[in-house]
Amino acid sequence: MAERLSPGDPAPDFTLQDADGKPVSLADHRGRKVIVYFYPAAMTPGCTKQACDFTDNLDQLATAGYDVLGISPDAPEKLAKFRTKESLRVTLLSDPDRATLTAYAAYGEKTNYGRTVMGVIRSTVIVDEEGKVEHAFYNVKATGHVAKLIRDLGV
């Protein structure tokens, strides 16, 4: 597992397929702040709540200069179904080999119902306009995270 990111670290660059199979790179967003959030699986209760919260607050975040990218190991086809089913407007990206998840320390050992398992660690990394980590939050809760993030960022 990669070491957790800290403010000032360069954000690992990536190019991943979106829900439509189109490539999206972190570099595409230079000049804007980017909220990169990592979630375990599309169409599960917690991940749905989090994606809907980001969608509900997308205009407010965009006005404040933030783009939002959600990354999971799900295939683009599943992400497309998730987007349609929940009317999501956030950009969802597919990381099936977990390379980006690992680079951001958002994949590794975690405790799930008292057992230690390997999986996606729900995390959010704020990347500044130059591609540096501004904030890195690990083991965040699905419910209430977006509201807390908006408060913490002063949006």
Using one digit for the tens of pLDDT, what is the confidence trace for 85-132?
A: 999 999 999 999 999 999 999 999 887 788 888 999 999 999 999 999
Q: Active-site residue among 47, 58, 79, 121?
A: 47
Please state the domain extents for the chain. Answer: 17-146
pLDDT recorded at residue 2: 66
Domain range 17-146, its CATH number among 3.40.30.10, 3.90.79.10, 3.40.309.10, 3.65.10.10: 3.40.30.10
In the sheet that 91-94 helps form, which strands lie side by side, from edge to edge? 23-25, 15-18, 91-94, 66-72, 33-38, 123-127, 133-138
Is residue 47 part of the annotated active site? The answer reads: yes
pLDDT for residue 1 is more than 60: no
The pTM of the full predicted model, rounded to 2 decimals, is 0.95
- Residue 32 pLDDT class (50, 70, 90 cuts): very high
Q: Please, what is the average pLDDT of the chain?
A: 95
